[in-house]
Amino acid sequence: MSEQEKRYFGKTALVVDDDFDYQELISFYLKSYGFEVVVGGSQAEGEKLIQETDFDLAVFDLMMENSDSGFVLSYKLKKTNPKIPVIIVTNVTNETGYHFDVSTDEMRSWIKADVILDKDIRNEQLYNEINKLLG
């Protein structure tokens, strides 16, 4: 995996997740790609960070204080900065049986994220998605 190392050196990613372990995991992946990582632990913190920080990529959890926290954050971010790519990483399908993706216009009309990934994510998969969004 050496070729992926530090490809995104000099870029910043925002990670918002209320699960400490997922903050760690996603940050760890992103750092290995060269990102500097800013972390928030709730929708409220995320909203603040969206306004106050500059970043090139956002990764949001879906269910935090509210069951649609990730959607709300995506919407708010895209409203002011439509060019910043957003990835939602969620366990929602596992937990509730609901499935979300952004493959249809209908879904894209109300979900403002660029990609939705399951939380049992693998390194290559995340790296490929980020390359598609930023590469």
Partner 1 sequence: MLILKLLVVDDEPGMRRGAFRALRKYKFELRDFNDTVEFEISQATTGNEALDLLSKTQFDIILLDYKLDDISGLEILDRLKKMKYDAHTVMMTAFASLEVAISATKSGAFDFLAKPFTPEELRKVVKKASTNIVLHRKAKKLEEDKKKVRFQFLSVLSHELKAPLNAIDGYLRVIDDRVAGNDIKSYDNMIKRSMERINGMRKLIFDLLDLTRIESGQKIRKIKQINLIEAVERSIETNKLKADERNISINLDAQEKILMNGELSELEIMFNNLISNAVKYNKENGYVNIKIEQEEDSIYITVEDGGIGMKPEEQKRLFGEFVRFKNEKTANIEGSGLGLSILKKLISLYKGTIKVKSEFGTGTTFFVTLKSLPAASPPAESA
List residues binding partner 1 (CB under 8 A): 1, 18-22, 24-25, 28-29, 32, 41-42, 91, 94-95, 119-124
Task: CB nearer to partner 1: give 2 or 80.
Answer: 2
- What are the backbone angles phi and psi of residue 101, rounded to the nearest 5°? -150, 175
Give which of 21, 12, 18, 23 is closest to 50, Cα–Cα: 12
Exposed/middle/buried for 80, CB within 10 Å: 0-12, 13-18, 19+?
A: exposed
CB of 103 to partner 1, least distance (A): 25
CB of 104 to partner 1, least distance (A): 28
Task: CB nearer to partner 1: give 18 or 68.
Answer: 18
Task: CB nearer to partner 1: give 115 or 121.
Answer: 121
